[in-house]
Amino acid sequence: MHQTDRIIELLGKYLDESLNDQQLLELQQWANADPQNQQLIERLNQNNLLIKDIRLYWELWNDDEATNREQRILDKVAQRTKQPSIVPLYYRVRKWLPYAAALLVIATTTLFLINRESQKNTDKEDVVNAADILPGGNKATLTLADGRTIDLNSKQSGIVVGKDITYLDGSSIVNDKNAASETLVLKTPIGGNYKVVLPDGSQVWLNADSKLTYPSRFASNERIVKLEGEAYFEIKHQLISGNKIPFKVLSNGQTVNVLGTEFNVSAYAEEFQLKTTLVTGSVEIVNLSSKNINKIAPGQQATLNGLETKISNVDVDKIVAWKYGQFSFDDKSFDQIMREMARWYNIKIEYEGGIPTDRFTGNAFKTDKLATVLRFLESSAIKYRIKTDQNNNYKVIINNTANGR
């Protein structure tokens, strides 16, 4: 039997209260599967005279006590409607009245299904085409020590902090030399990245939704920056009087001690873990909670989670793929991949039916539109749709339900 026909049959039995336990369970499961299904049952239960009359008719007509049955029906109906003229009408329609309930269920259910399909079509009209969502780009702000914030040029890819603060091509950003002193903050928004050349010549690439706090002049005995989010560091050796000046990266829960090396630090708050991946050179990871110090070699990653620091061998190219304009799907959970997408395309992620456990391999280019990047979902037949919320923000809804896949 077609599912719609089966539901109509069950709803008819529900109205005349003839459902057995198994049928009741079946109907409950159908209602719980979709809030709109529950709405239909509530609609059938609402204060509707026709439904009440049908239920009353069935109740009295099927009563074992047949005495004055018809008159009792008439009295109840007349009392409810306050229309005595209904009596003649009753005698004309009583033969088909038992079928009216079934017709009512069919009509109500049909209208419900039509309305729901119409709603789906409306949703489709409201759904945003993923091809319309553009990738991020060169976006950042520079906050000066006096509190002023400068929106950096999106046609430029980075800045240089020296005697003055300029773009990579030498064009000036800050003319006031006093404003270029003390603490500076480079911040990338969701959907943005930017590069900074620090006063010692070290280079830092900031990933999306990240912040780097650093001085316009380093101290003579140490170089310290603070990171929130993700960045790739290319640190220069620096000597004063023959002594190496250490470089330190502070992030929530750890300190990375560097002498001269290339490494990647991922310290997003929502990731719950801090990951430091060494490309070349040597670094020490100081766990500020446990006070443990771990030294890692090139090709290794230190993962800090509370008191624990785990050292593992990794494929460095996959970790730093973002620096070269790519997404790497290898060895990542589905929700981690989608969080990276969210930070770059400025989207919200919502799951229906839980987070998929599928694993993926391969790369995608960060310069592509969202639709192109999301093609990796096709291999697992994962469905998705995109809507805008009341603030016109994009929301990608991943459907991981049995019917959605």
Q: Give CA separation, 338 vs 113, 208, 280, 365, in Å.
A: 33, 14, 29, 15
Of residues 156 and 121, more confidently modeled: 156
Residue range 315-325: mean pLDDT, rounded: 95
| pLDDT at residue number 82 | 47
Of residues 221 and 92, more confidently modeled: 221
| pLDDT at residue number 182 | 84
Using pLDDT thresholds of 50, 70 and 90, give the confidence band for residue 91.
very low
Using pLDDT thresholds of 50, 70 and 90, give the confidence band for residue 375.
confident
Which tokens go with 242? 């023959």
Residue range 287-296: mean pLDDT, rounded: 94
- Interatomic CA distance for residues 193 and 189, integer angstroms: 8
Highest mean pLDDT out of 48-62, 89-103, 191-205: 191-205
Least confident of 22-36, 71-85, 152-166: 71-85
Predicted TM-score (pTM) of this structure: 0.67
Highest mean pLDDT out of 165-179, 204-218, 350-364: 204-218
Of residues 319 and 238, more confidently modeled: 319
Using pLDDT thresholds of 50, 70 and 90, give the confidence band for residue 327.
very high
Q: Which CATH class is domain 325-399?
A: alpha beta
Of residues 157 and 67, more confidently modeled: 157
Of residues 283 and 82, more confidently modeled: 283
Which tokens go with 264? 């990647």
- Interatomic CA distance for residues 405 and 402, integer angstroms: 6
Nearby residues of 86 by Cβ (< 8 Å), 6 or more positions away: 74, 77, 78
Task: Return the ∠ at Cα 35 (arms to 113 and 355), rounded to 5°.
Answer: 115
| pLDDT at residue number 93 | 40
Tens of pLDDT, residue by residue over 216-228, are: 989 888 899 999 9
Using pLDDT thresholds of 50, 70 and 90, give the confidence band for residue 243.
confident
- Interatomic CA distance for residues 387 and 393, integer angstroms: 8
**Per-residue pLDDT for 389 more than 60?**
yes
> Residue written as tokens 């994009």?
394
Tens of pLDDT, residue by residue over 72-89, are: 545 554 554 444 444 444
Residue type, 342: A
Of residues 187 and 131, more confidently modeled: 187
Of all residues in the chain, the percent with pLDDT exceeding 90 is 46
| pLDDT at residue number 62 | 52
Of residues 94 and 368, more confidently modeled: 368
Of residues 150 and 271, more confidently modeled: 150
CATH of domain 137-319: 2.60.120.1440
Residues of the chain with CATH 2.60.120.1440: 137-319
| pLDDT at residue number 382 | 87
Of residues 229 and 69, more confidently modeled: 229
| pLDDT at residue number 181 | 59
Of residues 35 and 26, more confidently modeled: 26
Report the mean per-residue pLDDT for the chain: 80
**Per-residue pLDDT for 242 more than 90?**
no
Residue type, 9: E
Nearby residues of 84 by Cβ (< 8 Å), 6 or more positions away: 78
In Å, how far from its chain's centre is CA 13? 42
Q: Give CA separation, 214 vs 151, 182, 185, 196, in Å.
A: 18, 8, 6, 10
- Interatomic CA distance for residues 143 and 276, integer angstroms: 26
- Interatomic CA distance for residues 284 and 1, integer angstroms: 68
**Per-residue pLDDT for 122 more than 60?**
no
Using pLDDT thresholds of 50, 70 and 90, give the confidence band for residue 15.
low
Of all residues in the chain, the percent with pLDDT exceeding 70 is 72
Of residues 341 and 16, more confidently modeled: 341
- Interatomic CA distance for residues 61 and 42, integer angstroms: 25
Residues of the chain with CATH 3.55.50.30: 325-399
Using pLDDT thresholds of 50, 70 and 90, give the confidence band for residue 287.
very high
Using pLDDT thresholds of 50, 70 and 90, give the confidence band for residue 125.
very low
